């Protein structure tokens, strides 16, 4: 990963809104702690985290952040915080740092990372050996 585009994105966000920048940094820290091997890049107007395939994305809007799970429809939603009705994606809206705890964000990140690792393992097992 080339850190410059990510740094540029974060610096621009800091200039625009310090409070939102602080929330983005907390969520990024949580994502990297939960999935330390995830790659991060600026894509689609936000930060995309992947492990071979997209795992989640973090997008900043005027009044909230959206933590979007690429395969969110397959995640167990026992706390009923995932939003969206699409075929694959689901998201959690975050307004303040306290939402990370209130909405059990770590648990959803762990589920998404585990699903990505399982998909990678299944893909590796399905590849023919030479």
Mean pLDDT value of segment 12-35: 94
SS3 of residue 119 by DSSP = helix
3-state helix, strand, coil in the chain (%, to 5): 45, 25, 30
* Residue range 100-122, pLDDT digits in tens: 999 999 999 999 999 888 877 77
Write out the two tokens for 117: 């690792």
pLDDT at 35: 87
Q: How is residue 50 written in tokens?
A: 């992947």
Of 1.10.10.10, 3.30.479.30, 3.40.1350.10, 3.90.1150.200, which CATH number belongs to 3-126? 3.90.1150.200
- Residue 52 gets the label, from left (phi > 0), alpha (psi -120 to 50) or beta, of left
Residue 130 has pLDDT above 80, yes or no: no
Higher pLDDT, 122 or 30: 30
Residue 19 to residues 15, 27, 58, 67, 93: CA-CA distances in angstroms?
A: 10, 13, 15, 17, 15
Higher pLDDT pick, 92 / 37: 92
User: In which band, very low, low, confident or very high, does the pLDDT at 11 lie, cut at 50, 70 and 90?
Assistant: very high
Q: What residues contact 120, with CB distance under 8 A and at least 6 apart? A: 51, 52, 53
């Amino acid at each position: 990963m080339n850190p410059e585009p990510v740094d540029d994105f974060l610096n621009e966000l800091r200039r625009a809104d310090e409070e939102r920048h602080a929330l983005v940094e907390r969520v990024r820290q949580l994502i990297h702690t939960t999935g330390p091997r995830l790659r991060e890049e600026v894509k689609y107007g936000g930060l995309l985290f992947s492990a071979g395939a997209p795992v989640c994305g973090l997008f900043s809007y005027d009044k909230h952040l959206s933590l979007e799970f690429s395969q969110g429809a397959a995640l167990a939603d026992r706390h009923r915080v995932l939003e969206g009705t699409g075929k694959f994606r689901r998201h959690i809206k975050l307004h303040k740092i306290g939402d990370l705890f209130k909405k059990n964000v770590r648990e959803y990140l762990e589920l998404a990372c585990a699903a990505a690792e399982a998909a990678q393992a299944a893909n590796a097992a399905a590849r023919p050996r030479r």
